[in-house]
Amino acid sequence: MQVAISGSSGLIGAALAASLTRDGHRVLRLRRGGVTDGDEIGWDPQGGRIDAPALEGVDAVVHLAGESIGAHRWSDEQKRRIEESRVRGTAVLAAAIASRERKPRVFVSGSAIGVYGNRGDEILTEDSRPGDDFLANVVRKWEAETQPAIDAGVRTVLLRTGIVLARSGGALTRMLTPFKLGLGGRLGSGKQWMSWIALEDEVRAIRHVIETEACSGPVNATSPNPVTNLEFTKTLGDVLGRPTVLPTPLLPLKLLYGAELVESLLLFSQRVMPARLEASGFTFAQPVLDGALRSVLRPT
């Protein structure tokens, strides 16, 4: 199988590429600003350019590229970059896929559970209505740009991923230092729901939807056991053998990153269930938080 991946140097993309390569599949990496050479396909998503003929005959395209959501304060310019990096990149890829005579069998476009917004204790599935905050609106526009591929008859999966737990990057890496120092604590009330997935299962989910014809449209990539922030905090503290008594002060975070980013990424509540993923026969290797954290953090 030949699989083209954008964002192949990121946390999820690198793990996916390694998994596919280990199993003997050919990985074609989309490289920004480059020219097509060997297993690299040149593209310029901001400029609206891609070497579309290089996608001819590819079995699957997995789109994971986009500006980091939590790396910088959300100025107006940063918000524009977050939105455009996802909307333009998806539009370029979808159009290129639709233009091919021998089209990919499947287009997996990375998405996010941010589409649901702040929903309290409500149980959310792929059929739940979207939210109306900044991130929810970005995801709605982002997902809409896959339409040319859908119209061309390409099976398209919108993989709505939650918080990815990995040792080598992502949210968990940023949490580890304060927790190891015994300074980790709940955020706000601690009642907000966190929908998470181990990196191992994220990669397995992507490969599952590639191979499963029944999967199309929105698919939540989250563990079937979301937890509250308070439960997450206590579990991580137990795994690390550290106390988690004092709440994390939010004011320094808001001063550094801005109130909107902190509230959206740390205080919003999203209790998301992987209804379509499980209905399609997917089973999680790490369905429970304690086991997932111990697996992710075990000595290598």
Query: Into how many domains does the chain fold?
Result: 1
Q: Please state the pTM of the whole predicted model.
A: 0.95
Query: Which residue range is the domain that position 80 belongs to?
Result: 2-297
pLDDT in tens, 53-108: 999 989 999 999 998 898 889 999 999 999 999 999 999 999 999 999 999 999 99
Separation of alpha carbons 253 and 264, rounded Å: 12
pLDDT at res. 34: 66
CATH number of the domain to which 71 belongs: 3.40.50.720
For the chain, how big is the Rg over CA atoms in Å? Answer: 19
Reported confidence tier of residue 38, pLDDT bands at 50, 70, 90: confident
Q: What's the rounded mean pLDDT across residues 218-234?
A: 98
Question: Which residues 6+ apart lie within 8 Å of 61 measured at CB?
Answer: 3, 4, 5, 6, 55, 93, 97, 104, 106, 107, 108
Reported confidence tier of residue 229, pLDDT bands at 50, 70, 90: very high
In this structure, the strands spanning 123-124 and 193-194 are: unpaired
Separation of alpha carbons 138 and 187, rounded Å: 25
Mean pLDDT, the chain, rounded, equals 95
pLDDT at res. 33: 76
pLDDT of 222 strictly over 90: yes
pLDDT of 299 strictly over 90: no
pLDDT at res. 250: 93
pLDDT at res. 50: 93
pLDDT at res. 5: 98
pLDDT at res. 300: 64
Share of the chain above pLDDT 90, in %: 89
